Amino acid sequence: MKNLKGKTAIVTGSGRRKGIGEAIIKLLAKRGCNVVVTDLGEPTGRNFAKKHIGSSSEMKAIVREIKSAKGQAISVPCDVRKSKQVEELVAKTVKKFGKLDIMVNNAGVGYIMEEFTDFKESSWDAVLDVNLKGAFLCSQAAARQMIRQKSGGCIINIASQAAKSGFPFAAAYTASKHGMIGLTRSNAVELGKYGIRVNAVCPNHITTGLGHWQNEFFSKKLGMDYETYLQAIVDKNPLGRTGLVQDIAKAVAFLASDESDYITGEAMNVSGGEEYH
């Protein structure tokens, strides 16, 4: 199915192996999109160590794989917290592919978790800066370009189950993801007149690099071993499994396509029925 043929898409945070972003960018490329793989590329400070981020070599390898499957792709390093870099990301995309139709705000930090009474101000800022300010900057740069093009577009925010429910030790993460839904709704209302649809996807647990960190963190906090903790998640899920990166990629491909052309302002749970409001 090539129902996105000729569209151009950026997926932030798509340079880390086994991540949701990698799955999204590969599926969009398979459906016919020209894609831009973008991620931090290099570690930047204490909260963004090598073990947590998508590296330049991973980004390049993902581009090679897309090209070898006959897709069109480039990689552009970008820190979504920096407006100038975000503007350059959009400019490079337009220079290479002529336009921008789909912006997926996937970059996120989910590995800074602390007891609320000890939650550091610097930790709060680190999470909010990527998860919420990053989505704001990327949505703004994308919307400006889409409005100039006069042919509409799609902005898709990868939120979380934590955008609908509370989680312990995760005040910043949960607040940022709830905020992302607010951003989605406000932008949907404001940008609808330009034919720009804005939606969010809310995954439950997926064992990516980030998900693995969370499994270790929460199993330790709960005094469970890793496998028992994971099994407990599976046991409470109506469809009897945790999420897969492909589940989210398929939802994004749907929201990016004309199949969803009357859907905007939606925050869609993709959680096997674990989250339903």
Ligand X SMILES: NC(=O)c1ccc[n+]([C@@H]2O[C@H](COP(=O)([O-])OP(=O)(O)OC[C@H]3O[C@@H](n4cnc5c(N)ncnc54)[C@H](O)[C@@H]3O)[C@@H](O)[C@H]2O)c1
Binding region for ligand X (CB under 6 A): 12-13, 15-16, 19-21, 39-40, 53-54, 79-81, 106-110, 130, 134, 158, 160, 203, 205-206, 208-211
Pairing of strands 8-12, 102-105: parallel
In whole angstroms, how close is the CB of 71 to ligand X at the nearest point? 19
Please give the residue whose beta carbon sits closest to ligand X in the complex. 108
Nearer CB in complex with ligand X: 34/106: 106
Instruction: Please spell the DSSP secondary structure of 141-208, one letter per residue.
Output: HHHHHHHHHTS-EEEEEE--GGGTS--TT-HHHHHHHHHHHHHHHHHHHHHGGGTEEEEEEEE--B-S
Going 242 to 197 to 136 to 48, the CA torsion angle's sign is positive
Distance, C-alpha 137 to centroid of its chain: 14
Nearer CB in complex with ligand X: 34/157: 157
Question: What are the tokens at 114?
Answer: 């602390």
In whole angstroms, how close is the CB of 2 to ligand X at the nearest point? 25
Task: Indicate if 173 belongs to the active site.
Answer: yes
Nearer CB in complex with ligand X: 40/100: 40
Nearer CB in complex with ligand X: 71/77: 77
In whole angstroms, how close is the CB of 139 to ligand X at the nearest point? 14
From 111, 173, 226, 276, active-site residue: 173
In whole angstroms, how close is the CB of 151 to ligand X at the nearest point? 27
Distance CA(212)–CA(161), nearest Å, equals 16
State the DSSP code for 133: I
122-149 in b/e form (b: 16+ CB < 10 A) is ebbebbbbbbbbbbbbbbbbbbebbbeb
Active site residues: 173
